[in-house]
Amino acid sequence: MSTTRRHYKGKTYETVLLRRSYREGGKVKNETVGNLSHLPAHVIDGIRAMLAGRELVDLDESFVIERSLPHGHVAAVLGVLRGLDLERLIARERCRERDLVVALVVQRLIGPGSKLSATRRFSQSTLASELELGEVKEAELLAAMDWLLARQERIEKTLAKRHLQGEGFMLYDLSSSYVEGRCCPLAKRGYSRDGKKGTAQVNYGLTCSPEGRPVAICVHDGRTQDQQTLPAAVAAVRERFGIEDVVVVGDRGMLTATHAEALTVAGVDFVSALKSAQIRKLLDAGDLQLSLFDETNLAEITSGEFPGERLVVCRNPAIAAERKRKRDELLAATEAELERVRSMVWGPRGSLRKADAGKIGARAGRVMNKYKVAKHFELEISDGAFSFERKADQIAAEAALDGLYVIRTTCATSKLQSPAAVVRTYKQLKMAERAFRTMKNQIEIRPIHHHLEDRVHAHALLCMLAYYVAFELHLRLTPLLFTDEEPLSPTDPVAPAKRSPAAKTKAGTARTPDSHPAHSLPDLIADLGTLCRNEVRIGGAEHTYTRLTKPTALQHRALDLLSVKPAA
């Protein structure tokens, strides 16, 4: 078949001819058998295919898609996991337990759920075939979790060597997740960070590298306080992981005076912050002068209250203004409630008119601390009388500390040269907080359904490993996410963080610079899941073959960023 095109008066005319070649008298000649130009394009393509020796089948009767399974998200997550050498990290040799653990980690990122649901979901994507899992039962998954827990120390030691070597800075923070059921020995009622008051929970401490990669996780019962978990975390890094030069970065609730002294004696440096009562003590002792902030937002001081420590005092005007606004609103709301009580007492038709002091006090008590500012009001209650006023001096004293925070560290200037470096190091705790958000929301560490203590430990370890992969996914896919690719690093570390102009444009238009829709990481993983692996059968053939759906431009870009090539 030959196709010719000619152009005439701005139009293109296409002619498709069916021709044959033959030899006559030693010469090759061509003959036009027919003009096919009038036929539809798909008929012409069919004739061309048959002439090439290909067999045509009836799509309705002979072409069957036997099975179509989501594959893109499995290929992406599993490819990154293998690129991180996480399989060998879990176990050097391949075995059934390792494959099940890897499947659980991947499933946490593509579609989290219970262990029972995982036995169904493995076969609802290509995950089961990629890892050659076959039929999986819940008991196998629970046994694989027990198998994984026995390897936790080796896994965490390897991660620590990868990411905590060098200056030895470690981020440490504690969070909690609520528990379903009443049989778990770790489940206790305590301070809930999930907002689930009155429910049993477990606490877990997470150790991260300075950039935010998870290194180790330790589970505690739900009543354990923040500061009680720190010594074990530091001991793990020094003794189990063999890293002697350690600098602990923790929030103000982690370090008590006793722990700070113990760390100093052990030769462990730390970066933390003072509580408001400690800051007030610095002011009262004259070690901290508010006049320092007339021209700057940052100053380094020393105090006899904290010998051998550097104190970096910061004042953030934006936080100060926000706290003043919020306090004024709460005071005004409390005054409005108390004014209603006063009208009940003094009003001619008030329900508390001429009531005894106990009844008036009971009514005032119901609203006094509704907005948590009762400490700023002075009440006078007697039989048939009620009045109140603000404690102006106390409010002013609290306002003086608005936006003020003090970072403490034992690090010498050889490790953290300037006060700005101390502030930036402390602010890296935001990465540990991001880890908790991802583990709770995307990976769904909560609610915890396990009743055995070891299973709770294994569940937390699984979720940490899933976040380890999620961190890398987020890092590589940043150009397609709402995340700022080039976050601005302000000269003043105290100033509020600001997004770059490119990130603002991305957020405003919801599109990336190369015109792809901007995504969150879970949404992008879900989009990759629409890239399917299809099992196709043609005619009555005994065998089937697989074909991938054609990747969209977004999927192609995402897979390029991950350096992953899905196999059919």
Parallel, antiparallel or unpaired: strands 298-301 and 214-221: unpaired
Task: Say what the pLDDT of residue 257 is.
Answer: 81
Highest mean pLDDT among 44-53, 258-267, 310-319: 310-319
- Give the residue-averaged pLDDT of 397-422: 89
Task: Say what the pLDDT of residue 59 is.
Answer: 65
Joined tokens for residue 528: 């990759």
Calculate Rg over the CA atoms of the chain: 34
Burial of 350 from C-beta contacts in 10 A (0-12 / 13-18 / 19+): middle
Task: Say what the pLDDT of residue 331 is.
Answer: 95
Taking only the tens place, the pLDDT of each residue in 184-197 is 999 999 888 888 88
Taking only the tens place, the pLDDT of each residue in 115-174 is 999 999 999 999 999 999 999 999 999 999 999 999 999 999 999 999 987 777 899 999
Taking only the tens place, the pLDDT of each residue in 476-530 is 999 999 999 888 777 788 887 888 888 999 999 999 999 999 999 999 999 999 9
Closest CA to 412 of 491, 310, 481: 310
Give 274-290 as a DSSP string: --HHHHHHHHHHTSS-G
On the question of pLDDT at 539 being above 80, the answer is: no
Distance CA(406)–CA(316), nearest Å, equals 11
On the question of pLDDT at 407 being above 80, the answer is: yes
On the question of pLDDT at 49 being above 90, the answer is: no
Distance CA(119)–CA(144), nearest Å, equals 13
Lowest mean pLDDT, pick from 419-423, 439-443, 485-489, 517-521: 485-489
Sheet holding 63-70, edge to edge: 63-70, 532-538, 545-548
- Give the residue-averaged pLDDT of 195-209: 91
Share of the chain above pLDDT 90, in %: 58
CA atoms within 13 A on the CB side of 534: 12
Give bridge partners of residue 35 from the DSSP assignment: 17
On the question of pLDDT at 536 being above 90, the answer is: no
Query: Helix (H, G, I), strand (E, B), or coil: what is residue 20?
Result: strand
Q: How many CB atoms lie within 10 A of CB 35?
A: 11
H or E, element range at 486: none
DSSP code of residue 538: E
DSSP code of residue 517: B
Largest CA distance in the chain: 133
User: Does domain 152-316+403-472 correspond to CATH entry 3.90.350.10?
Assistant: yes
H or E, element range at 141: helix 138-149
Taking only the tens place, the pLDDT of each residue in 457-475 is 999 999 999 999 999 999 9
**Which residues, at least 6 apart from 167, have a Cβ–Cβ distance to it below 8 Å?**
245, 247, 415
- Give the residue-averaged pLDDT of 315-335: 92
- Give the residue-averaged pLDDT of 236-243: 86
pTM: 0.85
Parallel, antiparallel or unpaired: strands 169-178 and 63-70: unpaired
Closest CA to 447 of 104, 100, 114: 114
63 touches 538 (CB < 8 A): yes
514 touches 505 (CB < 8 A): no
Give 172-238 as a DSSP string: EEEEEEEBSSS--TT-B----SSS-TTS-EEEEEEEE-TT--EEEEEEEETT--HHHHHHHHHHIII
Task: Say what the pLDDT of residue 60 is.
Answer: 67
> Domain residue spans in the chain?
2-56, 70-149, 152-316+403-472, 319-399
